[in-house]
Amino acid sequence: MEMTIKEKIEAIIKWQNCKFVHPLTCGSKDCNHIPLKPIEKEGKVVLVCEDCDYEQEYFPIYVLKADIDKIKKNTNKILKILENKNET
């Protein structure tokens, strides 16, 4: 089933707020490459830069399909294992 615009925006926001993945950033050469913000525009999801007028309609499908909660859980497990290794 196709995701709604609201579901797509929520998925992108979740991606953008996860510290374990690289955010979708501004592609303008005149900007600081800050994370883009998803908005609805003319019936579709558009990523916009809040520092400049950059907009992009493309975002990778994996951003929508990513299980961010699982990514966080597994990454935290790995970090804990590495932390325990460093203590020994």
Dihedral, CA of residue 33, residue 47, residue 6 and residue 61, to nearest 10:
-80
Q: In what order do the strands lie in the sheet with 37-41?
A: 37-41, 44-48, 55-56
Quote the pTM value: 0.85
Q: Tens digits of per-residue pLDDT, 38-80?
A: 999 999 999 999 999 899 999 999 999 999 999 999 999 999 9
Reduce the DSSP state of residue 57 to 3 states and report it: coil
Instruction: Quote the percentage of the chain above a pLDDT of 90.
Output: 77
The region that residue 64 occupies, defined by phi over 0 for left and psi between -120 and 50 for alpha, beta otherwise, is alpha
Contact 75, 18 (CB under 8 A): no
Q: Which two tokens stand for residue 36?
A: 């883009």
